[in-house]
Amino acid sequence: MSAHTHTPEDFKPRSREALADPRLRANFRATMDFLVERRAAQFADPAEYARLRDLGEAIRRHALANLPELLEQLERKLAQRGVQVHYAETIEEAQEIFAEIAGCHGARIMVKGKSMVSEEIGLNQAMEECGVECIETDMGEYILQLDGDRPSHIIMPAIHKSKEDIADIFARHIPGAGHTEDVNELIGIARKALRRKFGQAQIGVSGVNFLVAETGTLVLVENEGNGRMCTSVPDVHIAITGIEKVVEKLEHVPPLISLLTRSATGQAITTYVNLITGPRRPGELDGPREMHLVLLDNGRTQAYRDERFRSTLQCIRCGACMNHCPVYTRVGGLTYGTTYPGPIGAIISPHLQGLGATRDLPTASSLCGACGEVCPVGIPIPELLMRLREAARHPVDESGHPPLRGQGAAASQLERLAWKGWRILYSNSRLYRIFAWLATRLRWLTPARQPGWTQGRTPLRPAPHSLRDLLAARRREQAALQAAAPSARRSGAGTG
Amino acid sequence: MITSLKQRRARDNILSRLRAAPQSAQEAVPDVAAYYREAPVVTAGSKVERFIEQATYWHAQVVEAGVDAWPEAVLKVAQDKQLRRILLGRDSPIGDALGRVLPPDWTTWYQGDWPLCKPHLFDEVDAGITSTVAGIARTGTLVLWPGAAEPRTLSLVPPVHIAVLFASSLHETWLDAATVGNWSARMPTNVVLVTGPSKTADIQRLLVYGAHGPCELVIVLVHDEPAGRGTT
């Protein structure tokens, strides 16, 4: 449930477990194929897609280039609309803000729409510790919360559960729910149970897809209607998101939403697009009386301050990169042990949690480039993965950039020595010749088990002859041939 | 107001870190209008026809009606679906016309403060009827503009949502609707774009309607466009 129960440190052992689970792999494969096809149908015309993607990228880059100014403009607009803005540098600060607001209202129940940033700050657990029940209302997230499980995909959180699993979970945890495997009935049970909670909750929590600086508007897309419930029914609405989600103008939103929903689930538009601009005004009969926006940093300024990593923050959280990732499809989302899994997780998590914990994640890629190709806002994900791998291996950055948190966490003395040796060998021809001579003669000494390599591949072993030797041998052979048949060559040349 | 010193400091730290970062080369200002101008032109059918096709695709039920007979069309929907407890906005622009046609014992006017309404709204209403400020042909989307006249929950909580849409308010894209309607200068507390009934595919990717919002969306499309159905 919280970001802290799973950790990215044991990514490798968990990948092995996941790979050995045929049901999990089948679930993921089928879902990813489904999402990949749905997206492809939406972007059937590559030229149109390229134009829309360029526009989306331009909008996000323009927003990031002016981020501090846009945040200030947003803050002013929101203040005019009566929305209280809170900044949090860390997860703990964000939790405190929630606890304080809940305390002010004596809240016991919070209903929450789908929000990845609330997962990032471990909101449910933090609220539980203050005696507030924080209820997930997205159907997928609700199922997981009942079962004490975690989301495995940012758009389809419960894809690792079958309807039989869910039937059991409901029968066990929802009072009065019978055992049924009919999907319509299952959703009906959850709908009824959650409606009661919407009516009781004092506070509604939501995420945000985009913030519009010009108007002070929060944009929220969804299919289920729980986002509308959480932001309309309780007396207090708290929205939480990262500082990077702001765009300048309202007109920038339609193209981004088009890219987001088509990339995420292959829908031209979601059922609901909410544009929320402040709490209820005089005369209105519903809507929250009080509204808060929590803007979280938690490492985002680290990605921002270094231009080589800034494009990480262009992300609109569609999940297309994970749907198309051969590694993610095989190991599943839970394996990563981070709030954001897959390729986007591998490039954002090192900034949020430091490279110490996340050093293996950038290596969880074959660099096939699919993630970069399908990214609707043009984030060069493979390049960023390479840069993070480099940062994890080198404690000091030679280009003079300030070090990342956990920089050099994967540095290895042995590897450094190996490269040093390689450099000496390859820059000294006499040494190299001796090395090649020895390597080809002593090849029978190479071990059959080579850690890190032979787990999935045949052992590396030098060839019996070096290229230099082979070429020399061939030259000798040709010379011998010429010497043996001079007349044949001469007559051949004459008739040509 | 909750603005502790700590949060003030957090804000200043974050903004100063952002300002200290090297400036990226000035990014081009995105030209959204140019993209839509050059986007492939949809020519199949009129705007009305495209709207109906899209809305139907998204599982909304579209009922067409003439400019004088639409309240009767709403009544017929209520009769066919046996909706006996219908909620309406007190000052809704369509309230008067509907009040004259719908049987009084079927209708309830949304009024009073929210805590008093909650149980009634959640458990005792069959349908909510709202107006719309615009429709979007390309995606079959309704634009709702809830406010004092039509509360937000009117189109959200009842299991059936009936929306009255005037064909003259159809636009091709939602950028058009926002530009023509000058939204950015007059944003209300809540604008909702609605495309079909509430839905989820969270269990094994199987599509189910009526997740948290309405299970059914009925659009009464009023043909008030000057040249009838042929206009684009």
- In this structure, what CATH number is given to the domain that contains residue B222? 3.40.50.10420
A275 part of contact set with chain B, CB < 8 Å? yes
pLDDT band at B3 (very low <50, low <70, confident <90, very high): low
Contact residues on chain B for A306, CB-CB shorter than 8 A: 21
SS3 A135: strand
User: What are φ and ψ of residue B160, in 5° steps?
Assistant: -125, 135
State the nearest Cα–Cα gap between B222 and chain A, in angstroms: 22
Last residue in a domain, options A302, A323, A354: A302
In a domain, A312, yes or no: no
Q: Give the pLDDT confidence score for residue B121 in this predicted structure.
A: 80
Nearest CB partner across the interface for A276, out of B190, B202, B208: B190
In a domain, A345, yes or no: no
In a domain, B172, yes or no: yes
pLDDT band at B45 (very low <50, low <70, confident <90, very high): confident
End-to-end Cα separation, chain A, in angstroms: 81
pLDDT band at B41 (very low <50, low <70, confident <90, very high): low
Contact residues on chain A for B17, CB-CB shorter than 8 A: 297, 301, 304-305
In a domain, B77, yes or no: yes
- In this structure, what CATH number is given to the domain that contains residue A275? 3.40.50.10420
Q: Give the pLDDT confidence score for residue B44 in this predicted structure.
A: 75
Residue type, B119: P
Q: Which domain holds residue A89?
A: 41-302
State the nearest Cα–Cα gap between A315 and chain B, in angstroms: 17
In a domain, A9, yes or no: no
Query: Are the beta carbons of A272 and B198 separated by less than 8 Å?
Result: yes
Task: Please write the tens of the pLDDT for every residue from B151-165.
Answer: 999 999 999 999 999
Query: Tokens representing B72?
Result: 């009767």
Last residue in a domain, options A284, A302, A320: A302
C-alpha distances out from residue A21 to A18, A25, A57, A156, Å:
5, 6, 38, 20
In a domain, B19, yes or no: no
Q: Give the pLDDT confidence score for residue A94 in this predicted structure.
A: 98
The sign of the dihedral angle between the CA atoms of B108, B112, B116, B118 is positive
Q: Are A334 and A159 in contact (CB under 8 A)?
A: no
Q: Quick one: A412 exposed, middle or buried, by C-beta within 10 A (0-12, 13-18, 19+)? A: exposed
Cα nearest neighbour of A32 on chain B: B205
Q: Give the pLDDT confidence score for residue A3 in this predicted structure.
A: 40
Q: Count up the domains in chain A and report the number.
A: 2
In a domain, B131, yes or no: yes
Q: Which domain holds residue B127?
A: 45-227
**Based on C-alpha coordinates, what's the Rg of chain A?**
29
B119 sits in which H/E element:
helix B114-123
Q: Count up the domains in chain B and report the number.
A: 1
Q: Are A340 and A321 in contact (CB under 8 A)?
A: no
Query: Are the beta carbons of B153 and A286 separated by less than 8 Å?
Result: yes
Q: Give the pLDDT confidence score for residue A18 in this predicted structure.
A: 93
Nearest CB partner across the interface for B18, out of A67, A104, A143: A67
Query: Are the beta carbons of A223 and B20 separated by less than 8 Å?
Result: no
Cα nearest neighbour of A294 on chain B: B7
In a domain, B2, yes or no: no
Q: Give the pLDDT confidence score for residue A151 in this predicted structure.
A: 86
In a domain, A376, yes or no: no
A67 part of contact set with chain B, CB < 8 Å? yes
Q: Give the pLDDT confidence score for residue B113 in this predicted structure.
A: 64
Query: Are the beta carbons of A229 and B10 separated by less than 8 Å?
Result: no
Q: Give the pLDDT confidence score for residue A1 in this predicted structure.
A: 38
In a domain, A444, yes or no: no
Q: Give the pLDDT confidence score for residue A27 in this predicted structure.
A: 87
Contact residues on chain B for A376, CB-CB shorter than 8 A: none
pLDDT band at B39 (very low <50, low <70, confident <90, very high): confident
In a domain, A17, yes or no: no
Q: Closest Cα to residue A18, out of A332, A234, A417?
A: A332
pLDDT tens per residue across all 496 residues of chain A? 334 457 999 999 999 999 999 988 998 899 999 999 999 999 999 999 999 999 999 999 999 999 999 999 999 999 999 999 999 999 999 999 999 999 999 999 999 999 999 999 999 999 999 999 999 999 999 999 999 998 888 888 998 899 999 999 999 999 988 899 999 999 999 999 999 999 899 999 999 999 999 999 999 999 999 999 999 999 999 999 999 999 999 999 999 999 999 999 999 999 999 999 999 999 999 999 999 999 999 999 999 999 999 999 999 999 999 999 999 999 999 999 999 999 999 999 999 999 999 999 999 999 999 999 999 999 999 999 999 999 999 988 777 788 999 999 999 999 899 999 999 999 999 999 999 899 999 998 999 898 878 888 899 999 999 888 899 999 999 999 998 876 555 554 444 3
Q: Are A326 and A373 in contact (CB under 8 A)?
A: no
Q: Fill in the DSSP letter of residue A250.
A: G
Q: Give the pLDDT confidence score for residue B115 in this predicted structure.
A: 54
Nearest CB partner across the interface for B208, out of A58, A87, A183: A183
What is the average pLDDT value for chain B, to the nearest integer? Answer: 91
Last residue in a domain, options A302, A322, A343: A302
